[in-house]
Amino acid sequence: SRSRTFAMIKPEALIHSGAIISRIYEENFVICQIKKVQLTRADAANFYDEHKGKPFFGELLDYLTSGPVIALELMGEDCVKKWRACLGPTNSLKAKQDAPNSIRAIYGTDGTKNACHGSDSPSSSARELEFFFGPHSPKPKAEFK
Ligand code: CMP
């Protein structure tokens, strides 16, 4: 049935955001909300709280704060699962092997720099949408002041 998920275009893939957003429409998702945000280290640590303590956590925070990200609320049929399928395996090197047409295969680099995020379950999509679009969410990045 129709549901929502959270998607994020990560810093190194921002240059490909036009192609990635075209792909999102080609896959028949609806973009309900979209915003560009520069995450602080604290924002990134809170968002990826479940990975705190893992060996790659520091590298993940460096990566996620290296430039702005684009946060999206997607809607569609069986959205959480379908967006994860479009992304392919977490590690872009594995994606290039096993799912060459996936977003991570095309736009990602390695195990950390994997182009895009997608919520892994309906409960994490609710949490992540609240994190990025709820009342206490990080403010949109102003390009021109
Ligand atoms: P994502 O699906 O957004 O969720 C956690 C992120 O941590 C993941 O994408 C990668 O960017 C990164 N990550 C996950 N596993 C590893 C790993 N083994 N080594 C380095 N980075 C990882």
ipTM score for this prediction = 0.93
Res 145 pLDDT > 60: no
Give the residue whose CA is nearest to atom 22 of ligand 1: 112
DSSP bridge pairs for 2: 77
* High-pLDDT (> 90) share of the chain, %: 94
DSSP bridge pairs for 9: 70, 116
80: exposed, middle or buried (Cβ count in 10 Å: 0-12, 13-18, 19+) = buried
CA-to-CA distance for 50 and 82, rounded, in angstroms? 22
Q: Separation of 107 CA from ligand 1 center, angstroms? A: 15
Mean pLDDT of 54-69: 97
How many Cβ atoms from other residues are within 10 Å of residue 65's Cβ? 18
Mean pLDDT of the chain: 96
Residue 118 CA: nearest ligand 1 atom is: 2
Pocket residue to mutate for ligand 1, from 52, 66, 69, 114, most atoms within 8 A of Cβ: 114
Q: Separation of 37 CA from ligand 1 center, angstroms? A: 19
Report how far apart, in Å, the C-alpha atoms of 144 and of each of 48, 52, 71, 141 are.
29, 34, 19, 9
Per the annotation, the verdict on 16 as an active-site residue is no
* Span 86-141, pLDDT tens digits: 999 999 999 999 999 999 999 999 999 999 999 999 999 999 999 999 999 998 87
Residue 114 CA: nearest ligand 1 atom is: 11
Q: What angle do CA 17, 132, 67 make, to 5 degrees?
A: 45
H or E segment to which residue 70 belongs: strand 69-77
DSSP bridge pairs for 104: none
Mean pLDDT of 23-37: 97
Residues with CB under 6 A from ligand 1: 48, 51, 56, 60, 90, 111-112, 114, 117
Q: Separation of 54 CA from ligand 1 center, angstroms? A: 10
Going by pLDDT thresholds of 50, 70 and 90, the confidence category of residue 21 is very high
Q: Per the confidence metrics, is the pTM higher than 0.90? A: yes
Res 144 pLDDT > 60: no
CA-to-CA distance for 79 and 91, rounded, in angstroms? 21
